[in-house]
Amino acid sequence: MFGDVEGNRARVADAVETAARAGAELVVLPELCTTGYAFADESEACELGEPADGPTLEQWRGLAAAHRLVIVGGFCELDAEGTPRNSALIVDQDGASRVYRKTHLWDREQLIFVAGTEPPPVIDTSAGRIGIAICYDAFFPEVMRGLALGGADVIAVPMNSPIVGSPTEPLAAEVVLALAAAQVNRVYVAQADRAGPERGIRWANASAICDPDGRLLAGPVEGTTVLHSACDLERARDKALGARNDVLADRRPQLYATTNDKETVN
Amino acid sequence: MFGDVEGNRARVADAVETAARAGAELVVLPELCTTGYAFADESEACELGEPADGPTLEQWRGLAAAHRLVIVGGFCELDAEGTPRNSALIVDQDGASRVYRKTHLWDREQLIFVAGTEPPPVIDTSAGRIGIAICYDAFFPEVMRGLALGGADVIAVPMNSPIVGSPTEPLAAEVVLALAAAQVNRVYVAQADRAGPERGIRWANASAICDPDGRLLAGPVEGTTVLHSACDLERARDKALGARNDVLADRRPQLYATTNDKETVN
């Protein structure tokens, strides 16, 4: 619920417990899951945000240790200067943690947050090598490719996806992108979208878990729920496709390096 | 039909005429549409192939002029050394033409063809700025992005897509890729797949026309048919997404340039 930080932390604890009971080793939570998404302005973000070593880190360390799993999710970070950042936090069961600041800001986020300057990371954890992208970051195939080249087994995507225009059929546009990224990189993609009413926004309900063949393992689904699926990370470490192809080795970077200039026939 | 080059040229003429009657200004034909796909070996390709200025160019010039449209399609090219290339030919109504040689070879194509060394091109034609990728080329988001950065309004994808494993649901994997490429680049994607029996191969039936919002305008469909749709190319020249975003200007190439190295938390 927007602005109900304590209530949202309790909802996170419930969701992590539900996931743990289902056997989860990795839990992905939505973008800005402690505060809600639809900030009116920067000052509201400053009021609701917290430093990277604030109460969210403390809570997630407790949950990760208690349930022996890795948690990735979004929170409103206030940096050393007090500037709001749309960040993701990853916490391992031993308490190790890392913050990533969203590098591609969507729409009004540009009025509220300052974009990060470090690329989306790949983190070695007890649940495998986890790449992180936040919502609109995943719209850029370069981001997902970079995470795969960086060794990600699973790309975790905390997201809040407002519907732009009318929904696409038969799959939400954000689910199409997740399936495509999973397929061309032969990685798992686990994205957690927002659900429920928030200041009049309609959400795309794009939570999904995709496998390296570009198949839906779980989701999409309407409403608030916990999706889960078994993932065999060895499958994401084998980039072979059929008998003679390899989705990363078949790249021809020397042909991608330069922008193709527009040409005229003959 | 495999190996029936004269019959296939007649089928091309019929298809172009049908498309022209529907008002087509651009016609996209499948990969290797004059020969068929499933060559047993290189010598069969040498036997059925032709030089870039062979009878296919001559026929397509006639069709493009008669129907006042642009034709893109695949053919088996024999280069100056007689080496088979999996090529696409684009022909404008004034006879201007250009050949592109597939740069990402799928499976047994590697035993039959030599890959091209020039990047997929964007061609200024009477039907707009046409980018060309052949089948597995389009599996590489770098290719589709390069064509969009090169100014393509429409990316034409001649393809022959054998199904690998069981089909994906609810959309063929190749249609998911086309929708994703259309959406993230805000371009039209028009892909023409093979249909019908050929040496025991099952095809994905992935022919489709996608718009810059990532919506299906036509296809996919089973069997041999002519799909068509109106395309407003101005939409592909406006890369704005919502009020504050632009799918090309929002890229942060300085964050994509280096491969992300695998890291350990803390």
User: Which domains are seen in chain A, by residue range?
Assistant: 5-251 (3.60.110.10)
Chains A and B form CB pairs within 8 A to the count of 214
The answer to whether the CB atoms of A149 and B104 lie below 8 A apart is: no
| pLDDT value, residue B257 | 64
pLDDT digits (tens, 9 = 90+) for B172-231: 999 999 999 999 999 999 999 999 889 999 999 999 999 999 999 999 999 899 999 999
The three-class DSSP label of residue A208 is strand
| pLDDT value, residue B47 | 98
The answer to whether the CB atoms of A242 and B107 lie below 8 A apart is: yes
Q: Among this protein's residues, is A169 annotated catalytic?
A: no
| pLDDT value, residue B125 | 98
Low-confidence ranges of chain A (pLDDT < 70): 257-266
CA-nearest of A142, A149, A143, A147 to A130 is: A147
The answer to whether the CB atoms of A150 and B184 lie below 8 A apart is: no
Beta strands in chain A (DSSP E): 26-28, 70-78, 84-91, 97-101, 122-125, 128-132, 154-158, 188-192, 208-210, 216-218, 240-241, 245-246, 263-264
Task: Give the A window 216-255 contacts with B, CB below 8 Å.
Answer: 216, 241-245, 247, 250-253, 255
Mutation site, B53, B123, B252, interface A, largest A CB count within 10 A: B252
Name the residue facing B177 among A142, A183, A243 (closest C-beta). A183
Task: Give the A window 188-207 contacts with B, CB below 8 Å.
Answer: none
Low-confidence ranges of chain B (pLDDT < 50): 258-264, 266
| pLDDT value, residue A257 | 64
Task: Give the B window 122-141 contacts with A, CB below 8 Å.
Answer: 122-125, 129, 131, 136, 139-141
The answer to whether the CB atoms of B149 and A104 lie below 8 A apart is: no
Q: In what order do the strands lie in the sheet with B154-158?
A: A263-264, B122-125, B128-132, B154-158, B188-192, B208-210, B216-218
Q: Does residue A212 sit at the B interface (CB-CB below 8 Å)? A: no
Name the residue facing B250 among A104, A213, A259 (closest C-beta). A104
The answer to whether the CB atoms of B97 and A266 lie below 8 A apart is: yes
Mutation site, B255, B258, B259, B261, interface A, largest A CB count within 10 A: B255
State ipTM.
0.95
Give the predicted TM-score (pTM) of the model: 0.96
